[in-house]
Structure 1
């Protein structure tokens, strides 16, 4: 399951692309320094966008911890969406790629193959997520679903990558948006081996 993702998306691009879908981005904690990062791992800080309840058509861009401690103290970094309805705490996780790992073709190797997935038709995307306040502060997790045809050869689950046209629906607490929690159709993701 996705435990490493990439985000090289700059602030101006985020602001402009949200503006194109009629969402004004605010920075309630100040303008963040979003440096390009090839590996964002569990417990690292990542950029999320979440709705601003007091201002329709506006969303806040924040940096938060990826994962919160679960009941057994293991990090909750992925969360099954199957059959669930998320009425609050929704967020969009800013990314331009995510990784999956498979066993090495050489059975004597202790390393794994690393595969990078990117959108075929867009330079960056958002992952459906949820956030909550925890004993480590506010943190987010990625929602998962059954694998689509592009991911199935590599893993039996996949994160929910949203179409750009669906970002506002995911942020709208009055829209159940349950139908958005599905895999992408074949050919939506490019994959390349990076290790």
Structure 2
């Protein structure tokens, strides 16, 4: 489960890290003017990477699929997480697989508000690539993050987890030919570390961080 994430990186950094694994990254709509984002939330726009011919294409997209309309005509919130188990994901003309670059994503602990916010990130602060789906809705590109049973680093925080893919599998995921269930595997222990990251609240004291529960307390 992931409702928000951090996106602090430049276009140059993205191009370089894809080049390191032999993937050309192009921006057909021109280079976006990226600014460091402390928190990308549902409906916000951020960089999405998808397959485009022999290269990967970077473009700006909105976080969350449009929700279905309820029987009473009302809509729920955007669909920001999409369950991966038991499903097959391929690339089509108006939808497909994607990667979402993040510098970390957020989870919470505690029973009272404000809860303790934790940033889960790479131990060396490398950019993570989260598995996602994209589709065109009303001529706009939107995306939802894929989730699975949590790996050991995420399990203390939530019963579901997003899926950061290792660099060696980025091309396999984007290409669309390798079966999705071979790739959508929770990362092993030590892939992520958690750092308490309270939101800025200058008008009042910050709450004392609540540690994540021990794994045995989840069941």
Tell whether the structures are fold-level matches, with TM greater than 0.5: yes
Per the alignment, residue 65 of structure 2 pairs with 68
Structure 1 segment 1-150 matched on structure 2, within 5 A: 1-52=1-52, 55-56=53-54, 58-71=55-68, 72=70, 73-74=75-76, 75-88=78-91, 89-104=96-111, 109-121=112-124, 123-135=126-138, 137-150=140-153
Q: How far apart in 2 are the matches of 1:146 and 1:48?
A: 23
Q: TM-score, normalising length from structure 2?
A: 0.82
- What is the Cα-based RMSD across aligned positions, in Å? 1.4
Q: How far apart in 2 are the matches of 1:95 and 1:63?
A: 14
Give the paired residue count: 188
Question: Are the counterparts in 2 of residues 45 and 64 from structure 1 also a CA contact under 8 Å?
Answer: yes
Question: Are the counterparts in 2 of residues 96 and 123 from structure 1 also a CA contact under 8 Å?
Answer: yes
Give the unaligned 5+ runs of structure 2. 199-219
Q: TM-score, normalising length from structure 1?
A: 0.91
Give the unaligned 5+ runs of structure 1. none
1:44-83 CA distance string (max 9 Å, x none): 001011000xx32x11100100002221432100000011
TM-aligned CA deviation for residue 136 of structure 1: 7.0
TM-aligned CA deviation for residue 127 of structure 1: 0.2
Q: How far apart in 1 are the matches of 2:82 and 2:137?
A: 16
Larger gyration radius, structure 1 or structure 2:
2
Per the alignment, residue 161 of structure 1 pairs with 164
Q: How far apart in 2 are the matches of 1:83 and 1:128?
A: 16
Question: Are the counterparts in 2 of residues 169 and 177 from structure 1 also a CA contact under 8 Å?
Answer: no
Structure 2 SS opposite 1:161: coil
1:109-165 CA distance string (max 9 Å, x none): 421110100012551110000001113721001000001111111100000111111
Moved over 3 A (4+): none
Question: Are the counterparts in 2 of residues 68 and 136 from structure 1 also a CA contact under 8 Å?
Answer: no
Sort the Cα spacing of 1:155 and 1:136 in 2 relative to 1 into closer, same or farther, 3 A.
farther
